[in-house]
Structure 1
Amino acid sequence: MDMAKSLILCTALAACLTLAAAGWSQGTATFYGGPDGSDTMGGACGYDNLYNAGYGVLNAALSQTLFNDGASCGQCYLITCDGSRQGGQYCKPGTSITVSATNLCPPNYALPNGGWCGPGRPHFDMSQPAFENIGIAQAGIIPVQYQRVQCKRSGGVRFSIAGSNYFLLVNIQNLGGSGSVGAAWVKGEKTGWIQMSRNWGANWQALAGLVNQGLSFAVTSTGGQYIQFLNVAPGWWQFGQTFTNNYQNFAY
């Protein structure tokens, strides 16, 4: 039986871990944000209210190594507690959770080597509700195994608009598939396609005056899928508004 068929027939996490062992990496996890995860809203990806942006409470701040200067914003990770390593007694066996990357866990240089989120360390600072799916909160920190997985989102890709009369800043949210943006463009009613660049997190910028023009967007996901989102924002759009076409999203 080939590997693909074996994976399809997996019915238990333990079996899947055995078959896909090469796809798993070791890391660690802590939690923040309180029992309801409310303090995880906002963050270094710029998503603000994570419910409105499509991510909800099952989220995590990534260490510097995983965050990749914001290129990982929106990506999804399947995480399970690793009972075979030190601290594994605090695992909840046979459980796993998928989280979305929505924030940065920065190094703390008051601690040796920058602490758990220091350079070179793959670490997830998860919302407490996500953490408690796989580990006991009293532990504070647990060893984990993780792998990046496809994201499943509800509704279409969202475009939250900020900036000024001659500068457009767009936070691109709720991507399915690979979950993150590899490249982006914007088009006004009176312009051609304008290449955007990453400003910070999931915010993409264009040095263009597009006020009072209807806007279309084009996005290439980090999985390589290219989609044009035509006539997303009408000509009367205002800074601070978010627009979506409600159905177009990424498969990879």
Structure 2
Amino acid sequence: MQLSGLYVMVFLKCFFVVFGQQIHSQHKVADLHWKPATATWYGSPEGDGSDGGACGYGSLVDVKPLRARVGAVSPVLFKNGEGCGACYKVRCLDKSICSRRAVTIIVMDECPGGYCSNGNTHFDLSGAAFGRMAISGENGLLRNRGILPVIYRRTPCKYPGKNIAFHVNEGSTDYWLSLLVEFEDGDGDVGSMHIREAGGIEWQEMTHVWGANWCIVRGPLKGPFSVKLTTLATGRTLSAREVIPRNWAPKATYTSRLNFLH
């Protein structure tokens, strides 16, 4: 088994997390009340913000329906990567230049410093998402304002016409399998993941590694694999039977036949 660079680091972290019996704390379910925060933007003025970001979604950030909805959030919402995939509505409070329309963003990145530090709730939006909060024709002026007071609330994620998909991360083998969840309706986040091998009766727990990436160190693993995920926000569970085929391949994405109702 040969891994290089980042994938060696991810493998080692997964290995030690599994065998070190790391314990994760419980998170409270987010409510739907508007709360105060601040917002800025990054990337190009009309761009998608991230080039992949701290969640690990890679080139998906440039593809609809994710495109122009990218949001980097402060650690209080990023939750060490377990907040990846969650959706929020963000609305500007400056009535002189902002519309009453809220923009919906998806957590795909983290902003670790500056306004995002010291426990602040902060959104660093893509240029396109930030500009959408402006009244008609004033998106350029809004982006020139710098930091803005905003309000935000958790909102269900919606991916019309999409079912949950599982991307097999580069470097995965029969002894180290790493997955990324895509297009999860509803809560959007992942609190735990399990897989079940071909002919198996037991669900094997996967470990959160970084961003939205989960892995299992075990082997040899034999597909096809069924995948069960449980959301972080409300603990809803979904099981995709034999969604990853016997002849699976690294860097491939396998789409299920189902999704959460939102």
TM-score range, shorter chain: 0.7 to 0.9
How many aligned positions are there? 218
Alignment partner, residue 147 of structure 2: 141
Q: For structure 1, which runs of at least 5 residues remain unmatched after alignment?
A: 1-21, 108-114
1:210 Cα offset (Å): 5.2
1:204 Cα offset (Å): 0.8
User: In structure 2, what is the Cα distance between the partners aligned to 1:53 and 1:174?
Assistant: 11
Alignment partner, residue 24 of structure 1: 34
User: In structure 2, what is the Cα distance between the partners aligned to 1:45 and 1:53?
Assistant: 17
Aligned residues of 2:48 and 2:127 also touching (Cα < 8 A): no
Equivalent in 165, 187, 201 of residue 158 of structure 1: 165
User: In structure 1, what is the Cα distance between the partners aligned to 2:46 and 2:99?
Assistant: 23
Equivalent in 167, 181, 185 of residue 176 of structure 2: 167
1:39 Cα offset (Å): 4.6
Q: 1:160 to 1:52 in 2, by over 3 A?
A: farther
Aligned residues of 1:53 and 1:174 also touching (Cα < 8 A): no
Please identify, of 72-81 and 155-164, the stretch whose mean Cα deviation from structure 2 is larger: 155-164
Q: 1:38 to 1:177 in 2, by over 3 A?
A: closer
The structure carrying a bigger strand percent of its residues is 1
Letter in 1 for 2:188: G
SS of 1:41's equivalent in the other structure is: coil
Q: For structure 2, which runs of at least 5 residues remain unmatched after alignment?
A: 1-31, 135-141
Q: 1:146 to 1:38 in 2, by over 3 A?
A: closer
TM-score (norm 2): 0.77
Q: 1:61 to 1:210 in 2, by over 3 A?
A: farther
| Runs of 4 or more above 3 Å deviation | 51-54
SS of 2:84's equivalent in the other structure is: coil
Between the two proteins, what is the percent identity of the paired residues?
32
Correspondence 1:225 to 2:236: yes
Aligned residues of 1:167 and 1:206 also touching (Cα < 8 A): yes
Equivalent in 178, 186, 198 of residue 189 of structure 1: 198
1:51 Cα offset (Å): 4.5
Letter in 1 for 2:184: L
Cα-Cα RMSD? 1.9
TM-score (norm 1): 0.80
SS of 1:217's equivalent in the other structure is: strand
User: In structure 1, what is the Cα distance between the partners aligned to 2:203 and 2:220?
Assistant: 12
1:60 Cα offset (Å): 0.4
SS of 1:181's equivalent in the other structure is: coil
Q: How does 1:1-252 map to 2 (within 5 A)?
A: 23-49=33-59, 50-51=61-62, 55-83=66-94, 89=96, 91-107=97-113, 115-135=114-134, 136-154=142-160, 155-162=162-169, 163-191=172-200, 192-209=202-219, 213-222=223-232, 223-245=234-256, 247-252=257-262
Letter in 2 for 1:236: N
- Map Cα deviations across residues 26-61 of structure 1 (whole Å, 9 max, x no partner): 111111121342451311111112255852221100
SS of 2:191's equivalent in the other structure is: strand
User: In structure 2, what is the Cα distance between the partners aligned to 1:61 and 1:216?
Assistant: 31
1:220 Cα offset (Å): 1.1
